Amino acid sequence: MEQREILSLTASDGHPLSATVTRPDGTPRAQLIVGGATGVPQAFYRRFALFAAERGYQTWTVDFRGIGQSAPPTLRGFRMNYLDWARLDLAALVDRAAQEDGPRFLVGHSFGGHAFGLLPNAEEIQACYTFATGAGWRGWMPWHEQIKVWFLWNVVGPLLIRWKGCLAWKQLGMGENLPSDVFIQWRHWCRFPHYFFDDPQQQGMIKQAFQRVRVPMIAANAIDDLWATPSSRNAFMQGYVNADWRGIDLVPGEIGLRTIGHMGYFRKEAFPLWEQMLDWFESLASTSVVASESCSKA
């Protein structure tokens, strides 16, 4: 029987975080670190973690600061940098998983695919498989979704922040409330076709960080994902200039799913996607490259 343990982590700046490790029976074949999507609590990935544990993987999830069990009593006045979720919070989870034996793989969902390139300890990861990672620019979206997103950025979001002191997504039934600083930075970067790679204030620093990533990657995007279309994925993944990455366009009907969208990659019916991903990780774990990197950390 799988074992789930709630962990208390501390980011390098001292911020407390809530995390979970899901252990398989026996010795884990690898460590799976989940980088979640913007505003999505770690509980959303519980079914995936249990599924992976049945396949022998030890899986790690975390609530980023301001989200889920890592949120303060109120987000009004809560200050942070959107990049903290990668550079501090996910980095703390990677450090904890790196204390365990075996290869370490990153599973990204949307922002999780952004976060990998921002990690100060990205060298701890031997491969990455990400779903729904894209550039965020509404120009990559269908026209009807562009209209909705324009209203979110320019009307709904600012009004909610003024009223609630945060992006009160719960009021819209769209997920966890977001710190206002996250909304402001997210909206700003979504003005650019290549997201934060095009931001003059961030450009050099972020590009240099992404250049350090030199491991195999797969970026899978559903053709019915309106927020992260395959074109949006291609625009963003260009930032991983030294990684051996490959894009996969997912057609829901071809894998027995009616729809996937932006959140369906981790819903319970999406297990065929999980099987494909874990099969890929297993193929890598048997190669000399991943095995030697893992041994060098022992």
pLDDT at 294 over 70: no
Q: Model confidence over 156-190: pLDDT tens digits?
A: 999 999 999 999 988 777 778 999 999 999 999 99
Distance CA 49, CA 39 (A): 19
Which is more confident, 290 or 79?
79
pTM here? 0.93
Share of the chain above pLDDT 90, in %: 90
The pLDDT tens digits for 22-39 are: 999 999 999 999 999 999
Q: Is the pLDDT of residue 289 over 70?
A: no
Confidence of residue 295 (pLDDT cuts 50, 70, 90): very low
Residue 288 has pLDDT above 80, yes or no: no
pLDDT for residue 200 is more than 70: yes
pLDDT of residue 290: 59
Q: According to the model, what pLDDT value does residue 174 have?
A: 74
